Structure 1
Amino acid sequence: MVAMRTPEQTVRAYFDAVNARDYEALAALFADDAELRPVGSRARRGREDVAAYYPPLLAGFAESHDEPTRISVAGQVVTAEITFTGRTADGAPVTFDAVDVIDVDDDGRIARLSLWYDTRAVAKQVTGHQRH
């Protein structure tokens, strides 16, 4: 019998999979009816739709790393403060802070994930354009 993951273990496995770009392991962490709510983008529903979000998002980065700097657990809800560091395909450095709020179901899978960060500041770094 496989031991059930705690909500924090599920979240740590999520970051491990994202950082490794292990999309199969990442998809397996989500519940069949999972919901992903990325700031500035449409919601995704269902494991397949959620899993499809990550490859094109990370394809724009030659390297990337999400470092959870603080994890807070309240029952089945985990809030993770993250520092993202990476380089675009063109070599431009990108660094920003984010917050993920993750609901983990009774089976140890991610039921709902909302991503929060300053999309405008990130876009400036990625594109190299400064808007006033």
Structure 2
Amino acid sequence: MSADLKSTTLADAYLTALQCEDLEGVLALFADDGYVHSPLYGPRPARDFYTELFVDSHSSALTLLGTMHGSTVDGNPLLSIWFYFDWTLADGTSAPFDVVDVLELDDEGKIKKLYIVYDTVDVRPAFEISSARPSYRAGRR
């Protein structure tokens, strides 16, 4: 299978599981020690991140905009998924955004690390009001 086809297949599987809030489906794409780095939730094990995300979500509609693949400076495979995340928070508040998820893959093609990259200027306040708790802020003690 070509790298482009693998990238598209993984991107499609990831977005489908994410949109359906399929915890086991999304976790099946991760290595056992898979980790997520999120601007709202901070760094945490994949299971913890997606469990909390799905509790904080009412619904979402995801639109794939593109994929990119390459490698880290250490030679690990990378896949970036650019998509529109039309997110509705648990209380019904709309919090849509464009996002790039950068996936560092292991030798078996499982997600070892996932870095979520987007501008939180509009999403962070809505998230904090909806969840009634502060979001993660790098450097905050």
Q: How many residues align?
A: 120
Q: Does 1:63 align with 2:59?
A: yes
One-letter code of the match for 1:106?
D
Correspondence list, 1:1-12, <5 A: 6-12=6-12
Question: After alignment, is 109-118 or 32-41 more displaced?
Answer: 32-41
Does the Cα contact within 8 Å between 1:7 and 1:77 map onto a contact in 2? no
**Equivalent residue, structure 2, for 1:95:** 96
Aligned structure 1 segments of 4 or more residues deviating by more than 6 angstroms: none
SS at match of 1:101: strand
User: Structure 1 residues 114 and 68 mapped into 2: Cα distance closer, same or farther (>3 Å)?
Assistant: same
Give the TM-score, by structure 2 length. Answer: 0.72
**Cα distance in 1, alignment partners of residues 118 and 85 from structure 2:** 10
SS at match of 1:90: coil
**1:21-74 per-position Cα deviation (integer Å, ceiling 9, x unaligned):** 111111111012222111244322xxxx31121122232222112322111122
**Equivalent residue, structure 2, for 1:113:** 114
Q: Does 1:72 align with 2:73?
A: no
Question: After alignment, is 82-91 or 15-24 more displaced?
Answer: 82-91
* Unpaired runs of at least 5, structure 2: 72-76, 131-141
Give the TM-score, by structure 1 length. Answer: 0.76
Residue 113 of structure 1 deviates from its aligned partner by 0.6
SS at match of 1:94: coil
In percent, how many aligned pairs have the same letter? 28
One-letter code of the match for 1:16?
T
CA RMSD of aligned residues (A): 2.2
Does the Cα contact within 8 Å between 1:98 and 1:117 map onto a contact in 2? yes
